[in-house]
Amino acid sequence: MARMFGTDGVRGMANLFPMTPEMALNIGRAAAHVCKSNEARRHKIVVGNDTRLSGGMLESALTAGFCSMGFDVFLAGALPTPGIAFMTCSMGMDVGVVISASHNPFQDNGIKIFTRDGYKLPDSQEDEIERLIVTEEIKDLRPTGIEIGRVRRIPDASERYASFCKKAFPANLSVGEIRIVLDCANGATSGVAPEIFSALGAEVTAMHCKPDGININDRCGSQHTADLAAKVLETGSSLGLAFDGDGDRLIAVDEKGRELTGDHILAVCSKMYKEQGRLRNNMVVSTVMSNYGFMAAMSRLGIGHAASAVGDRYVLELMKEKDAVVGGEPSGHMIFLDRHTAGDGIISALQLLTAMLLEGKPLSELSQVMQMSPQKIINVEVKRKPPLESLPELQDKIRIAESELSQQGRVLIRYSGTQSMCRVMVEGPTEAITERLAKDLAETVRNCIG
Protein backbone atom coordinates (compact mmCIF):
# COMPACT_ATOMS: atom_id res chain seq x y z
CA MET A 1 0.00 0.00 0.00
CA ALA A 2 1.31 3.45 -0.95
CA ARG A 3 1.78 5.98 1.85
CA MET A 4 -1.54 7.66 2.55
CA PHE A 5 -0.39 10.98 3.97
CA GLY A 6 1.14 13.57 1.65
CA THR A 7 2.22 17.14 2.34
CA ASP A 8 -1.36 18.16 3.14
CA GLY A 9 -3.06 15.17 4.72
CA VAL A 10 -4.69 12.30 2.83
CA ARG A 11 -5.96 13.09 -0.64
CA GLY A 12 -7.24 11.28 -3.73
CA MET A 13 -10.25 10.64 -5.93
CA ALA A 14 -13.36 10.16 -3.82
CA ASN A 15 -14.55 6.54 -3.51
CA LEU A 16 -11.17 5.18 -4.60
CA PHE A 17 -8.24 4.37 -2.28
CA PRO A 18 -7.39 6.13 -0.06
CA MET A 19 -10.55 8.28 -0.10
CA THR A 20 -13.10 5.50 0.43
CA PRO A 21 -15.71 5.47 3.23
CA GLU A 22 -14.02 2.39 4.65
CA MET A 23 -10.67 4.14 4.83
CA ALA A 24 -12.23 7.32 6.23
CA LEU A 25 -13.75 5.26 9.03
CA ASN A 26 -10.37 3.67 9.78
CA ILE A 27 -8.62 7.05 9.67
CA GLY A 28 -11.16 8.35 12.16
CA ARG A 29 -10.62 5.41 14.48
CA ALA A 30 -6.82 5.55 14.26
CA ALA A 31 -6.69 9.35 14.59
CA ALA A 32 -8.90 9.19 17.67
CA HIS A 33 -6.54 6.69 19.27
CA VAL A 34 -3.45 8.77 18.45
CA CYS A 35 -4.94 12.11 19.51
CA LYS A 36 -6.66 10.94 22.69
CA SER A 37 -5.05 12.11 25.92
CA ASN A 38 -4.68 10.03 29.07
CA GLU A 39 -7.19 12.19 30.93
CA ALA A 40 -10.31 10.45 32.19
CA ARG A 41 -12.89 12.61 30.40
CA ARG A 42 -14.98 12.86 27.24
CA HIS A 43 -12.85 13.72 24.23
CA LYS A 44 -14.12 16.02 21.48
CA ILE A 45 -13.49 16.62 17.80
CA VAL A 46 -14.81 19.25 15.38
CA VAL A 47 -15.34 18.22 11.75
CA GLY A 48 -15.82 20.57 8.82
CA ASN A 49 -15.84 20.26 5.05
CA ASP A 50 -15.86 22.22 1.83
CA THR A 51 -18.67 21.96 -0.74
CA ARG A 52 -17.77 18.79 -2.65
CA LEU A 53 -20.36 16.17 -3.55
CA SER A 54 -18.46 13.48 -1.65
CA GLY A 55 -18.18 15.52 1.55
CA GLY A 56 -21.28 14.08 3.20
CA MET A 57 -20.27 10.51 2.44
CA LEU A 58 -16.83 10.92 3.97
CA GLU A 59 -18.13 13.00 6.88
CA SER A 60 -20.49 10.18 7.88
CA ALA A 61 -17.73 7.56 7.75
CA LEU A 62 -15.19 9.71 9.57
CA THR A 63 -17.76 10.62 12.23
CA ALA A 64 -18.60 6.96 12.77
CA GLY A 65 -14.91 6.19 13.21
CA PHE A 66 -14.38 8.84 15.89
CA CYS A 67 -17.61 7.97 17.72
CA SER A 68 -16.65 4.29 17.76
CA MET A 69 -13.52 5.30 19.69
CA GLY A 70 -15.41 7.33 22.27
CA PHE A 71 -15.05 10.84 20.81
CA ASP A 72 -17.96 13.26 20.81
CA VAL A 73 -18.13 14.70 17.28
CA PHE A 74 -19.18 18.31 16.62
CA LEU A 75 -20.15 18.99 13.00
CA ALA A 76 -19.41 22.50 11.72
CA GLY A 77 -20.66 21.96 8.17
CA ALA A 78 -19.15 23.87 5.24
CA LEU A 79 -16.39 26.06 6.67
CA PRO A 80 -12.93 27.08 5.43
CA THR A 81 -10.04 24.91 6.57
CA PRO A 82 -8.61 27.72 8.77
CA GLY A 83 -12.07 28.05 10.31
CA ILE A 84 -11.78 24.50 11.62
CA ALA A 85 -8.29 25.26 12.98
CA PHE A 86 -9.85 28.21 14.83
CA MET A 87 -12.83 26.21 16.10
CA THR A 88 -10.51 23.48 17.38
CA CYS A 89 -8.72 25.98 19.63
CA SER A 90 -11.63 28.20 20.60
CA MET A 91 -13.93 25.32 21.58
CA GLY A 92 -11.28 23.35 23.44
CA MET A 93 -11.40 20.41 21.06
CA ASP A 94 -8.89 17.59 21.22
CA VAL A 95 -8.62 17.44 17.45
CA GLY A 96 -10.06 19.07 14.34
CA VAL A 97 -10.62 17.52 10.93
CA VAL A 98 -11.36 19.08 7.55
CA ILE A 99 -12.73 17.07 4.64
CA SER A 100 -11.40 18.88 1.58
CA ALA A 101 -9.08 18.58 -1.41
CA SER A 102 -8.29 22.30 -1.41
CA HIS A 103 -7.79 23.57 -4.99
CA ASN A 104 -8.32 20.15 -6.64
CA PRO A 105 -11.38 19.41 -8.84
CA PHE A 106 -14.63 18.23 -7.25
CA GLN A 107 -14.06 14.50 -7.83
CA ASP A 108 -11.10 14.58 -5.44
CA ASN A 109 -11.34 14.85 -1.68
CA GLY A 110 -9.06 14.73 1.31
CA ILE A 111 -8.71 14.64 5.08
CA LYS A 112 -6.62 17.18 7.01
CA ILE A 113 -6.13 16.84 10.76
CA PHE A 114 -5.37 19.60 13.28
CA THR A 115 -4.01 19.19 16.80
CA ARG A 116 -5.76 20.80 19.77
CA ASP A 117 -3.58 23.92 19.44
CA GLY A 118 -4.71 24.54 15.85
CA TYR A 119 -1.64 23.31 13.99
CA LYS A 120 -1.57 20.54 11.41
CA LEU A 121 -0.80 17.09 12.74
CA PRO A 122 2.96 16.39 12.72
CA ASP A 123 4.44 13.71 10.46
CA SER A 124 5.15 11.39 13.38
CA GLN A 125 1.49 11.21 14.38
CA GLU A 126 0.38 10.78 10.76
CA ASP A 127 2.81 7.87 10.49
CA GLU A 128 1.35 6.30 13.64
CA ILE A 129 -2.20 6.63 12.28
CA GLU A 130 -1.12 4.89 9.11
CA ARG A 131 0.68 2.14 11.04
CA LEU A 132 -2.41 1.38 13.11
CA ILE A 133 -4.45 1.03 9.92
CA VAL A 134 -1.93 -1.01 7.92
CA THR A 135 -1.27 -3.48 10.76
CA GLU A 136 -5.02 -3.64 11.53
CA GLU A 137 -4.09 -3.09 15.16
CA ILE A 138 -6.83 -0.49 15.41
CA LYS A 139 -9.66 -2.97 14.74
CA ASP A 140 -9.38 -4.51 18.20
CA LEU A 141 -9.48 -1.17 20.04
CA ARG A 142 -13.11 -0.24 20.66
CA PRO A 143 -15.03 1.04 23.69
CA THR A 144 -18.59 -0.06 24.40
CA GLY A 145 -21.70 1.10 26.23
CA ILE A 146 -21.77 4.69 27.42
CA GLU A 147 -18.16 5.18 26.28
CA ILE A 148 -19.27 5.45 22.64
CA GLY A 149 -19.28 9.01 21.32
CA ARG A 150 -22.22 11.26 20.42
CA VAL A 151 -22.76 13.51 17.38
CA ARG A 152 -23.77 17.17 17.67
CA ARG A 153 -24.01 20.07 15.23
CA ILE A 154 -22.60 23.58 15.73
CA PRO A 155 -25.35 25.90 14.47
CA ASP A 156 -23.29 29.10 14.53
CA ALA A 157 -19.89 27.88 13.28
CA SER A 158 -19.82 30.35 10.38
CA GLU A 159 -20.70 33.30 12.64
CA ARG A 160 -17.98 32.37 15.15
CA TYR A 161 -15.35 32.16 12.43
CA ALA A 162 -16.48 35.43 10.81
CA SER A 163 -16.17 37.23 14.14
CA PHE A 164 -12.65 35.85 14.57
CA CYS A 165 -11.58 37.01 11.10
CA LYS A 166 -12.90 40.54 11.59
CA LYS A 167 -10.57 40.95 14.56
CA ALA A 168 -7.63 40.65 12.15
CA PHE A 169 -8.58 44.03 10.65
CA PRO A 170 -7.52 47.16 12.59
CA ALA A 171 -10.44 48.69 14.47
CA ASN A 172 -9.14 52.21 13.79
CA LEU A 173 -9.16 51.81 10.01
CA SER A 174 -12.10 52.71 7.80
CA VAL A 175 -12.68 50.79 4.59
CA GLY A 176 -14.68 53.72 3.28
CA GLU A 177 -16.33 53.07 -0.06
CA ILE A 178 -13.69 50.72 -1.43
CA ARG A 179 -15.01 48.27 -4.02
CA ILE A 180 -13.94 44.64 -3.79
CA VAL A 181 -14.73 41.68 -6.03
CA LEU A 182 -14.64 38.29 -4.29
CA ASP A 183 -14.26 34.98 -6.11
CA CYS A 184 -15.15 32.24 -3.64
CA ALA A 185 -14.48 29.30 -6.01
CA ASN A 186 -17.94 27.88 -5.23
CA GLY A 187 -16.24 26.60 -2.12
CA ALA A 188 -16.11 26.95 1.64
CA THR A 189 -15.77 30.75 1.68
CA SER A 190 -18.98 31.25 -0.32
CA GLY A 191 -21.12 31.96 2.71
CA VAL A 192 -18.69 33.69 5.03
CA ALA A 193 -16.33 35.86 2.93
CA PRO A 194 -18.95 38.23 1.41
CA GLU A 195 -20.45 38.77 4.88
CA ILE A 196 -17.07 39.65 6.42
CA PHE A 197 -16.03 42.23 3.84
CA SER A 198 -19.51 43.75 3.63
CA ALA A 199 -19.63 44.07 7.43
CA LEU A 200 -16.36 46.03 7.32
CA GLY A 201 -18.00 48.55 5.02
CA ALA A 202 -16.70 47.53 1.60
CA GLU A 203 -18.88 47.55 -1.49
CA VAL A 204 -18.71 43.85 -2.37
CA THR A 205 -19.38 42.08 -5.64
CA ALA A 206 -19.37 38.33 -5.00
CA MET A 207 -18.98 35.74 -7.74
CA HIS A 208 -18.75 31.95 -7.91
CA CYS A 209 -20.61 31.73 -4.59
CA LYS A 210 -23.27 29.15 -5.53
CA PRO A 211 -21.79 25.73 -4.78
CA ASP A 212 -23.67 22.72 -6.15
CA GLY A 213 -21.24 19.98 -5.15
CA ILE A 214 -19.50 19.73 -8.51
CA ASN A 215 -18.60 23.32 -9.47
CA ILE A 216 -15.98 23.89 -6.75
CA ASN A 217 -12.75 25.28 -8.32
CA ASP A 218 -14.29 24.84 -11.77
CA ARG A 219 -12.63 27.57 -13.88
CA CYS A 220 -12.79 29.89 -10.89
CA GLY A 221 -11.02 30.69 -7.65
CA SER A 222 -7.35 31.20 -6.92
CA GLN A 223 -6.13 29.11 -9.85
CA HIS A 224 -8.41 30.63 -12.50
CA THR A 225 -8.63 34.41 -12.18
CA ALA A 226 -9.80 35.44 -15.67
CA ASP A 227 -13.42 35.95 -14.53
CA LEU A 228 -12.25 37.90 -11.50
CA ALA A 229 -10.01 40.20 -13.51
CA ALA A 230 -12.83 40.93 -15.98
CA LYS A 231 -15.26 41.72 -13.16
CA VAL A 232 -12.77 44.04 -11.43
CA LEU A 233 -12.43 46.05 -14.64
CA GLU A 234 -16.18 45.98 -15.33
CA THR A 235 -17.09 47.27 -11.87
CA GLY A 236 -14.19 49.69 -11.49
CA SER A 237 -13.19 47.93 -8.28
CA SER A 238 -10.04 48.60 -6.28
CA LEU A 239 -9.07 44.95 -6.13
CA GLY A 240 -10.21 41.37 -6.61
CA LEU A 241 -9.67 38.57 -4.11
CA ALA A 242 -9.74 34.92 -5.15
CA PHE A 243 -9.88 32.05 -2.67
CA ASP A 244 -9.50 28.35 -3.33
CA GLY A 245 -12.07 25.68 -2.50
CA ASP A 246 -11.22 25.36 1.18
CA GLY A 247 -10.29 28.99 1.76
CA ASP A 248 -6.68 28.71 2.86
CA ARG A 249 -5.24 30.36 -0.29
CA LEU A 250 -5.47 33.89 -1.62
CA ILE A 251 -4.57 35.29 -5.02
CA ALA A 252 -5.27 38.96 -5.75
CA VAL A 253 -6.04 41.02 -8.84
CA ASP A 254 -5.18 44.72 -8.87
CA GLU A 255 -7.42 47.54 -10.15
CA LYS A 256 -5.90 47.14 -13.63
CA GLY A 257 -6.91 43.49 -13.82
CA ARG A 258 -3.40 42.15 -13.30
CA GLU A 259 -3.02 38.96 -11.26
CA LEU A 260 -0.63 39.12 -8.31
CA THR A 261 1.05 35.98 -7.03
CA GLY A 262 1.44 34.94 -3.43
CA ASP A 263 4.97 36.35 -3.64
CA HIS A 264 3.58 39.82 -4.40
CA ILE A 265 1.12 39.62 -1.52
CA LEU A 266 3.82 38.36 0.84
CA ALA A 267 6.15 41.17 -0.19
CA VAL A 268 3.51 43.87 0.33
CA CYS A 269 2.51 42.50 3.73
CA SER A 270 6.11 41.94 4.85
CA LYS A 271 6.92 45.57 4.10
CA MET A 272 3.88 46.69 6.14
CA TYR A 273 4.82 44.44 9.06
CA LYS A 274 8.37 45.81 9.08
CA GLU A 275 7.19 49.42 9.00
CA GLN A 276 4.77 48.75 11.86
CA GLY A 277 7.42 47.04 13.96
CA ARG A 278 5.52 43.76 13.88
CA LEU A 279 8.01 41.70 11.85
CA ARG A 280 9.47 39.55 14.57
CA ASN A 281 13.21 38.93 14.17
CA ASN A 282 13.01 40.90 10.90
CA MET A 283 12.43 37.55 9.19
CA VAL A 284 10.11 36.28 6.44
CA VAL A 285 9.81 32.65 5.36
CA SER A 286 8.87 31.55 1.85
CA THR A 287 9.56 28.36 -0.12
CA VAL A 288 12.13 27.30 -2.69
CA MET A 289 9.46 28.05 -5.32
CA SER A 290 9.43 31.78 -4.56
CA ASN A 291 10.52 33.97 -7.43
CA TYR A 292 14.00 35.52 -7.54
CA GLY A 293 12.25 38.86 -7.59
CA PHE A 294 10.81 38.21 -4.14
CA MET A 295 14.22 37.46 -2.68
CA ALA A 296 15.64 40.59 -4.29
CA ALA A 297 12.80 42.65 -2.80
CA MET A 298 13.47 41.30 0.69
CA SER A 299 17.12 42.23 0.28
CA ARG A 300 16.27 45.78 -0.80
CA LEU A 301 13.91 46.17 2.15
CA GLY A 302 16.53 44.92 4.58
CA ILE A 303 14.37 41.95 5.58
CA GLY A 304 15.89 38.58 6.42
CA HIS A 305 14.65 35.64 4.34
CA ALA A 306 14.61 31.88 4.76
CA ALA A 307 13.30 29.29 2.27
CA SER A 308 11.54 26.06 3.22
CA ALA A 309 10.49 23.00 1.25
CA VAL A 310 7.23 23.36 -0.66
CA GLY A 311 4.09 23.03 1.45
CA ASP A 312 2.56 25.28 4.05
CA ARG A 313 3.37 22.80 6.83
CA TYR A 314 7.07 23.22 6.01
CA VAL A 315 6.72 26.99 5.87
CA LEU A 316 5.17 26.85 9.33
CA GLU A 317 7.90 24.57 10.70
CA LEU A 318 10.60 26.97 9.51
CA MET A 319 8.67 29.97 10.84
CA LYS A 320 8.64 28.36 14.27
CA GLU A 321 12.32 27.53 14.01
CA LYS A 322 13.20 31.11 13.01
CA ASP A 323 10.61 32.65 15.37
CA ALA A 324 9.01 34.47 12.44
CA VAL A 325 5.39 35.63 12.18
CA VAL A 326 5.08 36.06 8.39
CA GLY A 327 5.47 33.35 5.77
CA GLY A 328 3.88 32.04 2.61
CA GLU A 329 4.00 30.43 -0.81
CA PRO A 330 3.63 31.72 -4.37
CA SER A 331 0.46 29.62 -4.62
CA GLY A 332 -1.24 31.94 -2.14
CA HIS A 333 -0.85 30.12 1.17
CA MET A 334 -0.07 32.89 3.67
CA ILE A 335 0.58 32.43 7.38
CA PHE A 336 0.41 35.34 9.81
CA LEU A 337 1.18 33.74 13.16
CA ASP A 338 0.21 36.85 15.10
CA ARG A 339 -3.30 36.38 13.64
CA HIS A 340 -3.80 32.64 13.24
CA THR A 341 -2.10 29.25 13.57
CA ALA A 342 -2.91 28.27 9.98
CA GLY A 343 -2.84 29.70 6.48
CA ASP A 344 -6.05 31.65 5.98
CA GLY A 345 -7.15 33.26 2.72
CA ILE A 346 -9.59 35.68 4.34
CA ILE A 347 -7.14 36.85 7.00
CA SER A 348 -4.46 37.23 4.31
CA ALA A 349 -6.89 39.37 2.30
CA LEU A 350 -7.53 41.54 5.36
CA GLN A 351 -3.78 42.09 5.79
CA LEU A 352 -3.47 43.09 2.13
CA LEU A 353 -6.42 45.45 2.43
CA THR A 354 -4.86 46.97 5.57
CA ALA A 355 -1.61 47.65 3.67
CA MET A 356 -3.55 49.40 0.90
CA LEU A 357 -5.43 51.62 3.32
CA LEU A 358 -2.37 52.50 5.40
CA GLU A 359 -0.34 53.43 2.32
CA GLY A 360 -3.23 55.14 0.57
CA LYS A 361 -2.00 53.69 -2.72
CA PRO A 362 -3.63 51.46 -5.35
CA LEU A 363 -2.66 47.81 -5.33
CA SER A 364 -0.90 48.11 -8.70
CA GLU A 365 1.51 50.61 -7.14
CA LEU A 366 1.97 48.71 -3.88
CA SER A 367 2.85 45.52 -5.72
CA GLN A 368 5.81 47.24 -7.40
CA VAL A 369 7.72 46.49 -4.22
CA MET A 370 8.88 43.41 -6.15
CA GLN A 371 9.55 42.73 -9.83
CA MET A 372 9.01 39.20 -11.07
CA SER A 373 11.89 37.48 -12.81
CA PRO A 374 10.75 35.58 -15.93
CA GLN A 375 9.44 32.25 -14.68
CA LYS A 376 7.86 29.24 -16.34
CA ILE A 377 6.22 26.36 -14.47
CA ILE A 378 5.03 23.27 -16.34
CA ASN A 379 3.09 20.52 -14.57
CA VAL A 380 3.75 17.10 -16.10
CA GLU A 381 1.45 14.19 -15.26
CA VAL A 382 3.52 11.17 -14.25
CA LYS A 383 2.80 7.48 -13.85
CA ARG A 384 5.35 6.98 -11.09
CA LYS A 385 7.64 9.00 -8.85
CA PRO A 386 11.17 7.55 -8.84
CA PRO A 387 13.90 9.71 -7.27
CA LEU A 388 14.69 12.41 -9.80
CA GLU A 389 18.42 11.91 -9.26
CA SER A 390 17.98 8.34 -10.55
CA LEU A 391 17.03 9.63 -14.03
CA PRO A 392 20.37 10.22 -15.83
CA GLU A 393 18.78 11.73 -18.96
CA LEU A 394 16.96 14.32 -16.86
CA GLN A 395 20.02 15.07 -14.74
CA ASP A 396 22.06 15.72 -17.92
CA LYS A 397 19.39 18.13 -19.19
CA ILE A 398 19.34 19.95 -15.85
CA ARG A 399 23.14 20.41 -15.93
CA ILE A 400 22.97 21.80 -19.47
CA ALA A 401 20.16 24.22 -18.52
CA GLU A 402 21.94 25.40 -15.37
CA SER A 403 25.14 25.97 -17.34
CA GLU A 404 23.27 28.14 -19.83
CA LEU A 405 21.54 30.13 -17.10
CA SER A 406 24.75 30.59 -15.12
CA GLN A 407 24.05 33.17 -12.39
CA GLN A 408 20.99 34.60 -14.14
CA GLY A 409 18.42 31.99 -13.17
CA ARG A 410 17.73 28.59 -11.76
CA VAL A 411 16.03 25.22 -12.34
CA LEU A 412 13.81 23.51 -9.80
CA ILE A 413 12.11 20.18 -10.51
CA ARG A 414 10.02 18.44 -7.86
CA TYR A 415 7.07 16.12 -7.45
CA SER A 416 3.73 17.41 -6.25
CA GLY A 417 2.98 16.23 -2.73
CA THR A 418 -0.74 15.89 -3.46
CA GLN A 419 -1.06 14.91 -7.13
CA SER A 420 0.56 12.56 -9.67
CA MET A 421 2.53 15.41 -11.17
CA CYS A 422 6.10 16.58 -11.56
CA ARG A 423 6.51 20.34 -11.46
CA VAL A 424 9.20 21.83 -13.69
CA MET A 425 10.19 25.41 -12.85
CA VAL A 426 12.73 27.55 -14.66
CA GLU A 427 13.64 31.18 -13.96
CA GLY A 428 15.88 32.99 -16.40
CA PRO A 429 17.03 36.31 -17.80
CA THR A 430 14.40 36.50 -20.59
CA GLU A 431 10.95 35.05 -21.28
CA ALA A 432 12.20 33.28 -24.41
CA ILE A 433 15.13 31.52 -22.73
CA THR A 434 13.04 30.60 -19.70
CA GLU A 435 10.22 29.10 -21.75
CA ARG A 436 12.54 27.18 -24.07
CA LEU A 437 14.44 25.55 -21.22
CA ALA A 438 11.27 24.74 -19.27
CA LYS A 439 9.64 23.08 -22.28
CA ASP A 440 12.78 21.05 -22.97
CA LEU A 441 13.01 19.85 -19.38
CA ALA A 442 9.27 19.08 -19.21
CA GLU A 443 9.51 16.99 -22.36
CA THR A 444 12.41 15.08 -20.83
CA VAL A 445 10.36 14.37 -17.70
CA ARG A 446 7.46 13.26 -19.89
CA ASN A 447 9.69 10.86 -21.81
CA CYS A 448 11.20 9.42 -18.63
CA ILE A 449 8.17 8.93 -16.39
CA GLY A 450 5.10 10.43 -18.06
166 burial (CB, 10 Å; 0-12 / 13-18 / 19+) is: middle
Alpha carbon distances (Å) from 85 to 76, 116, 338: 12, 9, 15
Cβ-contact 99, 48 below 8 angstroms = yes
Q: Which one of 54, 100, 102, 237 is the catalytic residue?
A: 102
Which residue pairs from 298-301 have beta carbons closer than 8 angstroms and sit at least 24 positions apart in sequence?
298/267, 298/270, 301/270, 301/271, 301/274, 301/369
Give the side-chain half-sphere CA count within 13 A for 177: 1
- Residue 278 C-beta-side C-alpha neighbours within 13 Å: 13
Residue 217, Cβ density class (10 Å: 0-12 exposed, 13-18 middle, ≥19 buried): buried
**Known active-site residue 158:** no
Contact between 328 and 370 under an 8 Å Cβ cutoff? The reply is no
**CA 393/CA 375 separation, integer angstroms:** 23
CB-based contact 326:290 (threshold 8 Å)? no
Residues in the chain: 450
> How, if at all, do strands 43-49 and 71-78 pair?
parallel
Give the C-alpha separation, 284 to 281, whole Å.
9
Q: Which amino acids are annotated catalytic?
A: 102
